[in-house]
């Protein structure tokens, strides 16, 4: 059906957002010769899957490969890197909220699975002031892991999956969002969603999170990045922000500025249109 559609209709470009359909699109395009753009969002840990994707990306009609971070593109072959470019995910800019670091409400946004590192934050919460409260936002996918988390004696709210994370953060006066991932993460939308509100984040010093912080606010690397899996370091970084209102305000202003100046939807659309115009 796809091959028939490509033959009957005239397309200037095929834009592929999900690499699972890349092989099908490349094979269906054989003989039709439409130009293809592929947008990479994930790291393929499985070596066979990575080799297969790289093989199809190497096809001559794949003219450009976008990656949501430099880390995403690091899995490509040298030949594919030559036709690749970084296109960071955009986020809608919202009104900067007024929140104080005296509100010790912390959130983790993401499915409850071990590789997201929730347990690191749960352990850290035990060393924070008694008025600290944790909000876990996301699907409760791993029941055994959830049971492990529920064994911690901390104040915790489980929301499950919600449709508007930004509104939840605002309405519940969340003052800090933690991204404690212990497995590869190409780009953290929960980080940039928080930044779009002016909410500081503390993230694992690795993967796509480290890349974004180092690129746009390197001055605060030592403040909002913590050593992967290091509970003691995470506690220190949280208390450092909560015990210094001036520093908290500076970080809040800095992260909001990143979205306003660089990672908003307007900038993304302009960059994407420029890239596509250079191809077709």
Contact yes or no for 66/40 (Cβ under 8 A): yes
- Indicate the pTM of the whole model: 0.91
Query: What residue spans of 151-264 are helical by DSSP H?
Result: 165-171, 189-195, 207-216, 221-224, 231-242, 245-261
**Predicted pLDDT at 100:** 82
**Predicted pLDDT at 210:** 95
Span 105-261: which CATH code? 3.40.50.2000
Indicate if the alpha-carbon torsion angle 261, 266, 272, 277 is positive or negative.
negative
Q: Where are the domains of the chain?
A: 2-88+264-277, 105-261
**Predicted pLDDT at 18:** 86
Residues near 177 by Cβ (< 8 Å), separated by ≥ 6?
106, 107, 108, 109, 169, 190, 191, 194, 199, 200, 201, 202
**Predicted pLDDT at 221:** 98
Rounded Cα–Cα distance for residues 43 and 163 (Å):
26
Q: Which residue has the tokens 């800090």?
A: 176
Rounded Cα–Cα distance for residues 51 and 58 (Å):
10
CATH class of this structure's domain 2-88+264-277: alpha beta
Q: What is the mean pLDDT of each run of 10 residues along the chain (280 residues)?
A: 75 87 85 88 85 91 94 92 94 88 92 96 96 95 93 94 94 97 92 97 96 97 98 98 96 97 92 88
2-88+264-277 and 105-261 share one fold: yes
Q: Provide the 3-class DSSP secondary structure of residue 14.
A: strand
Closest of 216, 167, 213 to residue 193, by C-alpha: 167
């Amino acid at each position: 059906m796809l091959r028939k559609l490509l033959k009957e209709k005239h397309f200037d470009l095929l834009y592929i957002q999900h690499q699972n359909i890349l092989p099908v699109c490349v094979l269906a395009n054989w003989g039709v010769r439409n130009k293809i753009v592929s947008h990479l969002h994930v790291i393929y840990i499985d070596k066979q899957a990575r080799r297969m994707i790289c093989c199809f990306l190497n096809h001559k009609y794949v003219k450009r490969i976008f990656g949501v971070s430099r880390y995403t593109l690091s899995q490509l072959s040298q030949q594919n890197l030559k036709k690749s470019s970084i296109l960071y995910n955009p986020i809608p800019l919202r009104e900067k909220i007024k929140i104080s670091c005296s509100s010790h409400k912390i959130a983790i946004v993401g499915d409850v699975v071990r590789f997201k590192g929730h347990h690191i934050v749960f352990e850290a919460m035990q060393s924070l002031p008694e008025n600290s409260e944790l909000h876990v936002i996301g699907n409760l996918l791993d029941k055994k892991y959830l049971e492990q988390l529920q064994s911690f004696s901390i104040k915790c709210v489980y929301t499950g999956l919600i449709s508007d994370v930004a509104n939840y953060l605002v309405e519940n006066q969340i003052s800090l969002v933690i991204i404690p991932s212990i497995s590869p993460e190409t780009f953290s939308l929960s980080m940039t969603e928080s930044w779009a509100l002016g909410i500081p984040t503390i993230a694992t010093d690795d993967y796509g999170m480290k890349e974004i912080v180092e690129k746009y606010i390197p001055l605060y690397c030592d403040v909002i990045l913590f050593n992967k899996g290091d509970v003691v370091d995470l506690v220190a970084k949280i208390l450092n922000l909560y015990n210094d209102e001036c520093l908290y305000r500076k970080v809040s202003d800095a992260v909001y500025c990143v979205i306003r100046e660089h990672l908003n939807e307007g900038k993304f659309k302009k960059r994407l249109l420029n890239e596509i115009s250079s191809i077709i």
